[in-house]
Structure 1
């Protein structure tokens, strides 16, 4: 058994603990942390389902992969008790959504900077987050917890406006479903309550909860901030393009968002309120907002870990430096980096394909020559089945591009994504979502 998967050895070189396996996060850590300096903790079921043992050896910074109950949000002390503190540890780093509570518990136990366990629990449960935001007076949709389609219908009928049904403790738009006025809620309830991602979650993980809320119309953005002992430092606003369909999956992101200064100021104030409302201490936050009327932020949700969808890459390209490096420095006991101005624009657009069995893929060879193209990936091949895009996991690839400003970056990414054609023949199996 190699050192990187040994359950018994923890070398003295380990200085950082990563809770949950993320290729993108480890890629970033590889760029600035020493070789074999990172201990990666992950659920045994996830290690097997995602073949993490084979993947971990590709990361020079990874010293060791250990199985641990890092998704036990009800009793995180069990996770803490299962992990022997490395002698030279300097930081505990959140990596994935389902490890946020465990990361905070471990940092608290080892007296290292972190979110705080109470804040992590607020962030991991959208019902708890909504409750905390209501107490703080943060604008957000009208909402309620629901236990069945009849309760969904009752709430929707009482408002008389389009609504959104969603799980309270999932990720990646999984199970999120738009509801039109008067729509039958039984199919939506079935979709939301059966949505699963078996390769990402342990069987024992927390009991799902569900909520319904009014649908607020307006442009969507996310705000990424570094927080040092409750004080917001570096702040970025990301513009989002969202699928205009019953499943509101993101089609792309642009950094920085082209929004007026007074909107940025309002978003910053709301983030400061959110930090105080949740009791968040130190780390990174990725919060999603809808700008009602084009300029009034309404809270959608907030995550206490680095943003997904390669937003960290976009931030690094636009501002220079490394968001992960700054986060690690903060979690090591340093201070959060202050405000910075973006020097260029960066954008990602996700590739599109009709549901069915992939027969032909064209345009990939020319992507490298497209203006501004920085990176791209096509995650399907001929013979693969493409499903309806009901969550982030159903997307088939992406293009990342830069430009002299956000508008040019967005246009470059859109143009490059449009140059790829994925042809598929209809298939009955393509109607079933893949998780």
Structure 2
């Protein structure tokens, strides 16, 4: 049964997202005269907690939200029930998930209210790494699903785990990926059979993981706006991780357009991505995937999501092209025509800074133009808007964002949640973005304190060469 949204009542849009990243969506929906009905999480980082404190505050972007449901992504029934209630009070004209945990319930709500959405196959498969490997096997690395039952099955599990390393003979090292975690949490490398067996044998009850061959090569984010199954503009971002210096895979740099991709390679990636999206029967939304381009020219799918990318990838596209992505996504979610420029005029990069473990004390920026670090978790709780510059304008450091509270304990960067300070900058297309990065790194100092001793943060690996 389809719930028909209230005819003649105030038009509204349901947005599923993390509060600290939805500012551009709120601004665009306000310009359209749409009431914002928000679904967001209850937990999260200190930045997320600060953003929740801003709900209902006059003058703050979050202050104008018409209604909000704070819940978990697994609460599909509760979310659908609230959406049905909203449909009685408002004329709901669109819905969009911009946070990973709400992709499936958002797809259900779109189906319930007969709104454009990513579709059932895309929403379910994109939320499950194991299903991605089965549905998208042609483009994926060798992968084995390992499931461990409850207490009392340990010995059976250990015997079975001895069989898994044999599947990867001559394919080591392997990567172990938990299915229930995100943001690179729990991802580990096993260099040989014994190391892999030790990781598997140490799993707790009811664990689910993927064991995969480790694919080496340049890595890219590929983002496509899809409308009713048709692929519109595709954008590519070059990724940099800390995998070269650690056993982890945390993203520490993004660059758009890439500096290390020739036109033939770009077309190969786009063709592969198009085939993957078609296989998922993707409806309307943004398909965000991550691929590796190997030395022998293979395009290998790492993972795919049915939502916009995270970090500052959308601001990077805006700085590169001069136009924000969010209005195009809202156009699509409303069922209208949409376009987005595919030709960048500048090159933009985001980088994260390493820090010495300890309590975050200070972030210093020594830059010719006035650039002050924004302590988001202590102030607004929401990312600022970015302002594109002219194509030939010199290097510009747009923002230095502090994502943790002053005094918060920082540890090693083993997953995305451990990152504390990031910078976003851009330069002309023909400028050397790596030289620009060196200038930005030299300008920013992250200071931590441990037992009254002051230590300064160092560098972290930049974008892949």
TM-score over 0.5 (shorter chain): yes
Confirm or deny that 1:391 pairs with 2:389: no
* Matched residue, 2:20: 23
For residues 19 and 111 of structure 2, the distance between their equivalents in structure 1, rounded to whole angstroms, comes to 22
* Cα distance change, pair 386–95 in 1 and its aligned pair in 2 (3 A): same
1:271-290 matches, within 5 Å, as: 271-290=273-292
Q: Is the 8 A contact 2:54 2:63 kept in 1?
A: no
For residues 285 and 236 of structure 2, the distance between their equivalents in structure 1, rounded to whole angstroms, comes to 17
* Cα distance change, pair 23–179 in 1 and its aligned pair in 2 (3 A): same
* Matched residue, 2:454: none
Q: Is the 8 A contact 1:218 1:291 kept in 2?
A: yes
For residues 49 and 405 of structure 2, the distance between their equivalents in structure 1, rounded to whole angstroms, comes to 19
* Cα distance change, pair 263–169 in 1 and its aligned pair in 2 (3 A): farther
Q: Secondary structure at the match of 2:144?
A: strand
1:265-344 matches, within 5 Å, as: 265-293=267-295, 295-337=297-339, 340-344=342-346
Query: Could you tell me how far 1:408 is from its partner in structure 2?
Result: 3.3
The more displaced of 144-153 and 254-263 is 144-153
The more displaced of 185-194 and 63-72 is 185-194
* Matched residue, 2:81: 81
- What runs of 5+ residues in structure 1 fail to find an aligned partner? 1-10, 195-206, 428-435
User: Structure 2-normalised TM-score?
Assistant: 0.77
For residues 60 and 210 of structure 1, the distance between their equivalents in structure 2, rounded to whole angstroms, comes to 37
1:22-421 matches, within 5 Å, as: 22-31=19-28, 33-34=30-31, 37-43=35-41, 50=49, 53-57=52-56, 58-59=60-61, 62-67=64-69, 71-72=73-74, 76-83=76-83, 84=85, 85=87, 86-134=89-137, 137=138, 139-147=139-147, 150=158, 154-160=163-169, 161-182=172-193, 184-185=195-196, 188=199, 209-243=208-242, 244=244, 245-258=246-259, 259-293=261-295, 295-337=297-339, 340-358=342-360, 361-363=363-365, 368=370, 371-380=395-404, 383-405=407-429, 408-421=432-445
Query: Could you tell me how far 1:38 is from its partner in structure 2?
Result: 0.8
* Cα distance change, pair 46–246 in 1 and its aligned pair in 2 (3 A): closer
Query: Could you tell me how far 1:310 is from its partner in structure 2?
Result: 0.8
Q: How many residues align?
A: 400
For residues 368 and 176 of structure 2, the distance between their equivalents in structure 1, rounded to whole angstroms, comes to 40
For residues 157 and 322 of structure 1, the distance between their equivalents in structure 2, rounded to whole angstroms, comes to 49
* Cα distance change, pair 81–360 in 1 and its aligned pair in 2 (3 A): closer
For residues 214 and 95 of structure 2, the distance between their equivalents in structure 1, rounded to whole angstroms, comes to 37
- What runs of 5+ residues in structure 2 fail to find an aligned partner? 1-7, 149-156, 372-393, 452-465
Higher Cα Rg, which structure: 2
Tell which has more relative contact order, 1 or 2 (C-alpha 8 A, sep 6+).
Answer: 2
